Amino acid sequence: MALQDLSRGGFPDGFLFGAATSAYQIEGSGFGSAGLSHWDTFAATPGNVVGGEDGRRACEHYLRWESDLDLIRDAGMDAYRFSVNWARVQPDGQGRLNAEGMDFYDRLVDGMLERGLKPYLTLYHWDLPAALSRRGGWVNRDVADWFADYARLVTGRLGDRVASVATINEPWCVAWLSHFHGAHAPGLRDVSAAAHAMHHVLLAHGRALEAMRAEGVKNLGIVLNFEHIAPATDRPEDVRAAAREDAIYNRWFIEALTKGTYPAEALAGLERWMPGRWQDDMAGIRAPLDWLGVNYYRRALKVHDPDSLWPAIAETPGPLPKSSMGWEIYPEGLRHRLAGLARDHVGDLPIYVTENGMAAEDSVLGETVDDAVRLDYIDTHLRAVQAAIRDGANVRGFFYWSLLDNYEWAFGYDKRFGLVHVDFATLKRTPKNSYHALARMLRRNE
Ligand code: IFM
């Protein structure tokens, strides 16, 4: 059975196992005098989210955080990756502090330490204060300074106890998915807004690193998402379309961070829409990282779309088994990505798999959930991590996405990624078979 012949002993000494979540997806943004974020307003606009669902209540983690942390400890995990909701600590995104919100994170971090869990803090997992969104959000260059001030504020309070700080989660989603595809808040479909956001999200990361380093905050990184992108056929136009997608999705951020450049295939369409003198910012964007976070879920097959403007790419379903997101399951892509990042970009820098997991159609039967398909997914992806380590990647940890079933953004509560099932009527938590199997694996050390 999956996971049965894996154990901690198969990973390097000190390798961390954890689970990941994000604030908007689990906390309940309606609790604790938080300000509105652009996800609250996006979700309240017809047509944006399945069923018009929002994160105002979510999993009520704001109220149930202690028993949620117990679940992580009881699984034998070493670390917990969580995020801070910016509008919870600064309701207007700048200035006024919501003491109640900051106290919540203070208690949460102490709660992790009391349970022997290392706190892995992410500063931005998509919940931009609505007040800043109204001022242009990621399209406005000032966002870099707003974000650096916020980073300084949060780490000024929590920085003495967290094990690591990530600036931004998945900048591709923050910028491209949200300003070009319009699928996430703020829901723009505008190439110029997208080009500005693609640059400003990195500028904000660089400014925040500088601000936090000046205050002595340690172990700073960023979390990028990668997909295994391949052409659906060997026709030259499909091969070129896949290369364009790869440049926008997989190469834009890592090349800026490690080489101080953007890929030519992406600039070919974006350069005319970029903010003026963007080149002057690249030295700050390239500031050294202490670690890199890698989120990986799937393979995506691309074709040229002759009916579309640049970048003229369409996706086509592949033949592999899929998660309930419709995402092809392809663990080899994780091995390939981790090894490639080490070889071509970050050398020996510590890499963490900060998200990996799958959505499945889980239902509670008796007192548990039979999610054999998820167990298999975790098994094959952990083996891919082991293979990447053998290939030379310095992978130091693995965080399953996600601890709990939660708000899957524009899909509402439809997609279940959790190790722990959540009944969204009662909010009862039921650990799935994958939770129990992972816990057994983490107790083995042979
Ligand atoms: O739920 C998201 C998460 O917020 C960011 N990474 C991908 C997950 C699954 O779609």
Q: With contact defined as beta carbons under 8 Å apart, do 155 and 119 qualify?
A: no
d(CA 59, CA 427) in angstroms, rounded, equals 6
Ligand 1: nearest atom to the Cα of 408: 1
Atom of ligand 1 nearest to the CA of 22: 4
Instruction: Give the DSSP H/E element, type plus range, for residue 284.
Output: helix 282-285
**Interval between CA 405 and ligand 1 midpoint (Å):** 11
Half-sphere exposure of 281 (CA within 13 A, CB side): 22
Amino acid present at 59: C
Please identify which of the residues 227, 245, 355, 408 carries the catalytic annotation. Answer: 355
Residue of 409, 415, 419 best suited for mutating to test ligand 1, as the one with most atoms within 8 Å of CB:
409
Helix and strand totals (H; E) in the chain: 17, 11
Give the residues of the chain that fall short of pLDDT 70: none
Calpha distance 228→214 (Å, rounded): 37
Catalytic residue, chosen from 27, 53, 170, 245, is 170
Under DSSP, is residue 40 helix (H, G, I), strand (E, B) or coil? helix
Work out which ligand 1 atom sits closest to the CA atom of 417.
9
pLDDT digits (tens, 9 = 90+) for 114-145: 999 999 999 999 999 999 999 999 999 999 99
pLDDT digits (tens, 9 = 90+) for 344-371: 999 999 999 999 999 999 999 999 999 9
Beta bridge partners of 231: 302
Cis upstream peptide for 402 (omega within 30°): yes
d(C-alpha 443, C-alpha 440), whole Å: 5
Distance 214 CA to ligand 1 centre (A): 31
CA of 355 to the centre of ligand 1 (A): 8
pLDDT at 1: 80
How far apart, in whole angstroms, are the C-alpha atoms of residue 184 and residue 176?
9
pTM of the complete model = 0.98
CA–centroid distance, 409 to ligand 1, in Å, is 8
Q: Provide the percentage of residues in the chain whose pLDDT is more than 90.
A: 100
d(CA 54, CA 45): 10
Q: How far away, in angstroms, is 43 Cα from ligand 1 center? A: 16
Please list every protein residue whose CB sits less than 6 Å from any atom of ligand 1: 22, 25, 170, 295, 355, 401, 408, 417
Distance 83 CA to ligand 1 centre (A): 13
| Ligand 1 center–CA 234 separation, angstroms | 31
Residue 357 CA: which ligand 1 atom is closest?
9
Nearest atom, ligand 1, residue 402 CA? 1
In one-letter notation, the amino acid at residue 329 is I
* CA nearest ligand 1 atom 10, residue: 408
- Testing ligand 1's pocket by substitution, the residue of 82, 358, 402 carrying the most ligand atoms inside 8 A of its CB is 402
pLDDT value for 312: 98
Active site residue 170: yes
The pLDDT tens digits for 65-91 are: 999 999 999 999 999 999 999 999 999
pLDDT at site 446: 78
Best residue among 401, 403, 414, 417 to mutate for probing ligand 1's pocket (most ligand atoms within 8 Å of CB) is 401
Q: Best mutation site among 355, 377, 399, 407 for ligand 1, i.e. most ligand atoms within 8 A of its Cβ?
A: 355
The C-alpha atoms of residue 173 and residue 110 are separated, in whole angstroms, by: 30
Please give the structure tokens belonging to residue 285: 């964007």
Q: Which of 372, 400, 367 is nearest to 72 (CA)?
A: 400
